Amino acid sequence: MKQIAFAFFALGAISVTLGMVWGIQMSATHDHTLSPAHAHLNLVGWVTFAIFGMYYHLVPEAAQSPIAKIHFGLAVLGLAALVPGIVLAINETTETLAIIGSFLTLAAMLVFLFTVFRNRAAA
């Protein structure tokens, strides 16, 4: 597995592990207030990152591109801002971090979309 593929997949596995622990904590305390943040950690962190990792593993030409590193950076920053941003929004502190995380995550997905079409012949 190429480095970028491994990095995406490893962060996905870390995300789902944290998401599971968080889910158990919410269940144990009967407080599901932060369920939307938990769900985004699992969906964006695990599912999306795992798909990115599998794609880069299956299309090594894409993994070797400098665009893959930009994609990885945007995706990590997006997740790192989105999940705590949702927590802050739920707690009615501020929505700013959630908005920033949303746009970074969207930018990462647009870079991935570009990558998929750019490497369509290699896939």
DSSP secondary structure string, 58-81?
A: H-HHHHTSHHHHHHHHHHHHHHHH
Token digits of residue 15:
């995300």
DSSP secondary structure string, 23-61?
A: HHHHHHHT--TTHHHHHHIIIIIIIIHHHHHHHHHH-HH
Span 83-98, pLDDT tens digits:
999 999 999 999 999 9
pLDDT band per the 50, 70, 90 thresholds, residue 120: confident
Token digits of residue 38:
């938990």
The dihedral sign for the CA sequence 24, 109, 113, 60? negative
Cα 74 to the chain's mean position, in Å? Answer: 9
pLDDT at residue 122 is higher than 90: no
Angle of helix 49-58 relative to helix 96-118, nearest 10 degrees, comes to 20
Span 30-89, pLDDT tens digits:
999 999 999 999 999 999 999 999 999 999 999 999 999 999 999 999 999 999 999 999
The answer to whether 116 and 108 are in contact (CB under 8 A) is no
The answer to whether 87 and 94 are in contact (CB under 8 A) is no
pLDDT of amino acid 2? 77
